[in-house]
């Protein structure tokens, strides 16, 4: 084992994320925190690809994306399906990526990374394009942050794909990706989701009634909650049977709207919070989770063995996430809005079903996916394509990273 003064030069890992949705960013943070000790043999830096490369355009793009998903989900789903299998990048996509080529190349020359890890598909596509033009040779690792594949994730100069389930791995194989270039690690999440604890303890820590069931309601990190959440908040039957916790994420308007509704009939059975860093404790306190089926949120819930009721999946990757999770027995898809309250009440009153779903989550989850992701990258010797460079041999420092877990 190396001492601090004997460690070899740290491996420089550049992690490119994006905040069109919170999952890409959270996966990047989890990877960076997975090697976050002062004497770590890996120096990981997280950069938001969109903010860094398209600083002026990004706020407009983000606003339009989130509004489009909220107001016209069917249109989003149409474009998702239309482009899903088409691995030939559109002229528009190529033109957009080329706008940022010189800034991205400057970033790589400045940081001089030993490996680039992308949790955001546009970043993967851009780095691959640089490699195709002979302007970069750095190993490229792509972390797919959903339980679904899409052509934008699949790029011809990717050395390694890290995926959340065997379902995604099989989809990549059908696209012609070699099994040696795919590792089923689970979607990277923070190690706090694997720390032991029981529901009553978590409830006490959060000021909740330790003996009363908890329904956790989440809309993703961007707080995409519909108006129908107010029906849950108003329900006397649900207030009597359970405590409700609404996590609104970054959506201050949704939080204010729910707080105004609660003020009409206050009760200690309802809590409304914004973005929380300790979401693992809220999940640990809950009996069930009502959520949008984003890749990161659902992976965190599976790690906590928390049964899920999946609400209004966005056509596209969220629908595919929902299908995989429902097929694994760890989640149930919510039906139409008018029946949502009945489904929540039925599930909270079905301890046997909840116990079965927790058992299925135990089988489905990947243990310590962030550690497994780093292990897979340390095993990376060379990519699948002629001329793809090898990441410097770092087997001697792998155990040092594992110690952080």
Task: Return d(Cα 318, Cα 87) in angstroms, integer.
Answer: 20
Task: Return d(Cα 192, Cα 22) in angstroms, integer.
Answer: 18
Task: Quote the CATH superfamily of domain 192-364.
Answer: Glycogen Phosphorylase B; (3.40.50.2000)
pLDDT digits (tens, 9 = 90+) for 100-136: 888 999 999 999 999 999 999 999 999 999 999 999 9
Instruction: Tell me yes or no: is domain 11-186+368-403 CATH 3.30.70.
Output: no
pTM metric for this prediction: 0.86
Which residue did the predictor score with more confidence, 315 or 401?
315
pLDDT digits (tens, 9 = 90+) for 194-250: 988 899 999 999 999 999 999 999 975 554 566 667 788 888 889 899 999 999 887
Instruction: List Cβ neighbours of 228 (8 Å cut-off, separation of 6 or more).
Output: 337, 340
Which residue did the predictor score with more confidence, 67 or 343?
343
54-67 mean pLDDT = 81
User: What is the reported pLDDT for 235?
Assistant: 87
Strand partners, 47: 16
User: What is the reported pLDDT for 207?
Assistant: 95
Strand partners, 183: 162
Which residue did the predictor score with more confidence, 87 or 76?
76
Q: Is 357 exposed, middle or buried (0-12, 13-18, 19+ CB in 10 A)?
A: buried
Task: Return d(Cα 7, Cα 5) in angstroms, integer.
Answer: 6
Q: Check whether 295 has a pLDDT greater than 90.
A: yes
Instruction: List Cβ neighbours of 261 (8 Å cut-off, separation of 6 or more).
Output: 230, 233, 234
The per-residue b/e assignment along 381-404, b for 16 or more CB within 10 angstroms, e otherwise, is eebbeeebeebeebeebbebbeeb
> What mean pLDDT, rounded, does the chain reach?
84
User: What is the reported pLDDT for 90?
Assistant: 58
DSSP-assigned letters across all residues of 257-315: HHHHHHHHS--TTEEEE---TTHHHHHHH-SEEEE---HHHHHHHHHTT--EEE-SPPT
pLDDT digits (tens, 9 = 90+) for 335-375: 777 788 899 999 999 999 999 999 999 999 998 999 999 98
User: What is the reported pLDDT for 9?
Assistant: 61
Region of 236 (left: φ > 0; alpha: ψ -120 to 50; beta: rest) is: alpha
User: What is the reported pLDDT for 389?
Assistant: 40
The domain segmentation of the chain, as residue ranges, is: 11-186+368-403, 192-364
Task: Return d(Cα 309, Cα 318) in angstroms, integer.
Answer: 13
Strand partners, 245: 216, 271
pLDDT digits (tens, 9 = 90+) for 20-46: 778 899 999 999 987 755 566 788 999
Model confidence at 150, in pLDDT bands (50, 70, 90)?
confident
55-81 mean pLDDT = 79
High-pLDDT (> 70) share of the chain, %: 85
Q: Where are the beta strands (DSSP E) in 6-155?
A: 11-17, 42-48, 115-118, 140-143
User: What is the reported pLDDT for 61?
Assistant: 79
> Which pair of tokens denotes residue 30?
């989890």
DSSP-assigned letters across all residues of 370-393: HHHHHHHHHT----SSTTPPPPPP
Q: Check whether 382 has a pLDDT greater than 60.
A: no
Q: Check whether 88 has a pLDDT greater than 80.
A: no
Q: CA distances (Å), 7 to each of 4, 11, 32, 293, in order?
A: 6, 11, 19, 42
> Which of 71-85, 88-102, 134-148, 195-209 has the weakest average pLDDT?
88-102
Q: CA distances (Å), 300 to each of 190, 329, 331, in order?
A: 8, 16, 13
User: What is the reported pLDDT for 353?
Assistant: 97
* Domain 11-186+368-403 shares a fold with domain 192-364: yes
């Amino acid at each position: 084992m190396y001492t601090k003064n004997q460690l070899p030069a740290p491996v420089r890992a550049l992690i490119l994320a994006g905040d069109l949705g919170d999952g890409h960013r959270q996966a990047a943070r989890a990877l960076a925190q997975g090697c976050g000790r002062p004497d770590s043999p890996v120096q990981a830096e997280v950069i938001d690809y969109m903010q860094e490369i398209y600083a002026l355009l990004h706020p407009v793009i983000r606003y339009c994306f989130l509004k489009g998903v909220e107001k016209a989900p069917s249109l989003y789903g149409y474009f998702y399906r239309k482009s899903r299998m088409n691995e030939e990048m559109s002229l528009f996509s190529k033109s957009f990526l080329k706008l940022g080529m010189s800034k991205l190349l400057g970033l790589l020359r400045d940081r001089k990374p030993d490996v680039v890890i992308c949790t955001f598909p546009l970043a993967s596509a851009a780095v691959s394009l640089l490699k195709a033009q002979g302007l970069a040779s750095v190993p490229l690792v792509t972390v797919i942050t959903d339980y679904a594949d899409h052509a934008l994730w699949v790029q011809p100069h990717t050395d390694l794909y890290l995926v959340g389930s065997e379902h995604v791995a099989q989809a990549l194989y059908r696209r012609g990706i070699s099994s040696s270039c795919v590792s089923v690690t689970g979607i990277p999440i923070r190690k706090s989701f694997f720390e032991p604890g029981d529901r009553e303890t978590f409830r006490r820590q959060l000021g909740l009634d330790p003996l009363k069931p908890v329904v956790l309601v989440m809309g993703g990190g961007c707080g995409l909650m519909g108006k129908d959440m107010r029906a849950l908040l108003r329900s006397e039957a649900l207030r009597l049977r359970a405590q409700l916790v609404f996590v609104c994420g970054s959506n201050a308007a949704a939080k204010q709207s729910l707080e105004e509704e609660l003020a009409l009939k206050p009760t200690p059975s309802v809590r409304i919070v914004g973005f929380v860093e300790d979401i693992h404790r809220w999940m640990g306190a809950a009996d069930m989770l009502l959520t949008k089926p984003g890749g990161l949120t659902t992976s965190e819930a599976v790690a906590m063995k928390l049964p899920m009721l999946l609400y209004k999946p966005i056509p596209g990757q969220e629908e595919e996430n929902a299908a995989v999770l429902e097929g694994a027995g760890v989640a149930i898809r919510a039906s139409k809005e008018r029946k949502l309250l009945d489904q929540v009440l039925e599930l909270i009153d079905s301890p046997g079903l909840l116990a079965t779903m927790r058992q299925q989550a135990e089988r489905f989850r990947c243990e310590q996916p962030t550690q497994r992701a780093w292990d897979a990258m340390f095993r990376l010797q060379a990519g699948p394509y002629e001329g793809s460079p090898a990441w410097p041999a770092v087997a001697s420092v792998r155990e040092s990273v594992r110690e952080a877990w």
